Amino acid sequence: MAAINPPAWMQAGSYPARTDRLVISALLGYPGFLVDEATPTRIRQGVKPSYQNQQLKVRPAPTPNMTVIVSAGFAFIDQHDAGGQGTYVCANDGDVNLTVDPAGGAGQFRRDCVVASVYDAETAGSVSEWRLEVIKGTYASTAGGATRPSLPPNAQILADVTLAPNQTSIATANVLDVRQFSVALGGIQPITASTDMNRPHPGQVRYRWDTDTFVYGRADGSTVNLLQSGGASLIGQEQYARKTVDTTLNTTTSTNDPHLTLPVAANAEYTLDGLLFVLGGDFAADIKISYAYPSGAQLHFTGPGPHPALTSGGSGDGEFVARQSPDGIATTIGYASSTSRLGIPLSGVLITGGTAGTFTLQWGVVNSGNAAITVRVPSYIALKRRA
């Protein structure tokens, strides 16, 4: 490869469309993938992020049939027909309906892909346009065997659409959102933990919306949680999560609370503080409380009564009961419920091992078949880092 001339906006110069595309490429985020290191003009193509990430989102028709709808939005699509050609900007200003080919017969499963594709006669073919289109997959004898089809070279995948034999309509469960997002240099990339970049540039910040955490890239290509990066400088920092909506459960399965979760660092120590406001439909349901945390961590926690007698160690109403994760003592505490709102204080110590992750309060009912339990606003948990 060589220097690309003329540079953009030189006086009295003559410029191909490629020059404008390269200007756009220069302003967009680093690709973050090892394969692109040898092609420095490439960018991480993707959809422009927005509130709730609705741009170019694929969804079923309101009355399900064999079509899908792609919403309005922008996409940045890199040129892959030839190297050093820059990035296309593709805009869609309203909903677009796309038809999905009929499903196969008995024993035929299929995975189609909804994509935004650029076709440029300057480098390949005879058409110069971009399209929203459905690329049809090949049939397989099982759902797990159905794979994505080959995609056009200059395409940004938006969604997978799975089809079962003799299927006559597409529902929400058939549409898997697989968009990736691109931002300008210095912008914060919205992304999931499972699809994050494997080589972000040093200092590149991303927001993982599935874990509600911010991470950044280091010089060695690794990723660090922003709340885990400061080592001793984060000692004394407190994190806080509160319920914003009441949650009601009637299951004996310990369930992650949708609000009471916090990120934790590896090789750290935290003190736990919290208060739950609990309302039971009757006196017999009772609530049980436990926690989920990274592998290798130790949790020592306690809580006051009233609570029912427990099978491990035993206890009576009104006593304080301690539970400890590393020595085999049961890590769930049960409490009596009431038709009046009760307050349950939480306290403990969390010591993490070599694995970072999240700390989440879990709860359920002790006695099945009774009325549901509600954990109410403004219940909260807090973690304060000590080491």
Q: Are residues 313 and 378 in the same domain?
A: yes
* Position 23 in a domain: no
* Position 2 in a domain: no
Peptide bond into 306 cis (omega under 30): yes
Q: Are residues 302 and 337 in the same domain?
A: yes
Backbone angle region of 211, left / alpha / beta, with phi > 0 → left and psi within -120 to 50 → alpha: alpha
| DSSP codes, 137-201 | ---BSSTTT--PPPPPSSEEEEEEEEE-TT--S--GGGEEE---B--BTTPPEEE-GGG--SSPP
Q: Are residues 99 and 149 in the same domain?
A: yes
Q: Are residues 62 and 139 in the same domain?
A: yes
* Position 33 in a domain: no
* Position 30 in a domain: no
Q: Are residues 158 and 202 in the same domain?
A: no
User: What's the domain count of the chain?
Assistant: 3
Q: Are residues 216 and 253 in the same domain?
A: no
Domain that holds residue 63: 50-77+90-177
Tell me, what CATH number does 246's domain have?
2.60.120
Mean pLDDT value across residues 190-194 = 81
* Position 119 in a domain: yes
Residue-level pLDDT at 140: 94
Amino acid identity at 357: G
Q: Are residues 250 and 337 in the same domain?
A: yes
d(Cα 74, Cα 49) in Å, to the nearest integer?
9
- Assigned token pair, 18: 């490629």
Q: Are residues 247 and 135 in the same domain?
A: no
Cα Rg of the chain (Å, integer): 27
Tens-digit pLDDT profile for residues 25-75: 888 887 776 666 667 777 888 999 988 889 999 999 999 999 999 999 999
Tens-digit pLDDT profile for residues 256-297: 998 998 888 888 899 999 999 988 766 666 788 889 999 889
Q: Are residues 152 and 286 in the same domain?
A: no
Cα 320 to the chain's mean position, in Å? Answer: 38
**Longest Cα pair distance anywhere in the chain, in angstroms?**
89
Q: Are residues 172 and 58 in the same domain?
A: yes
Mean pLDDT value across residues 342-349 = 87
Q: Are residues 330 and 203 in the same domain?
A: no
* Position 43 in a domain: no
Mean pLDDT value across residues 171-186 = 92
Q: Are residues 209 and 155 in the same domain?
A: no
* Position 371 in a domain: yes
Tens-digit pLDDT profile for residues 103-150: 999 999 999 999 999 999 988 889 999 999 999 999 999 998 999 999
* Position 5 in a domain: no
| 316 pLDDT above the threshold of 50 | no
Mean pLDDT value across residues 79-99 = 90
| 333 pLDDT above the threshold of 70 | no
> Contact at 8 Å (CB) between 271 and 348?
yes
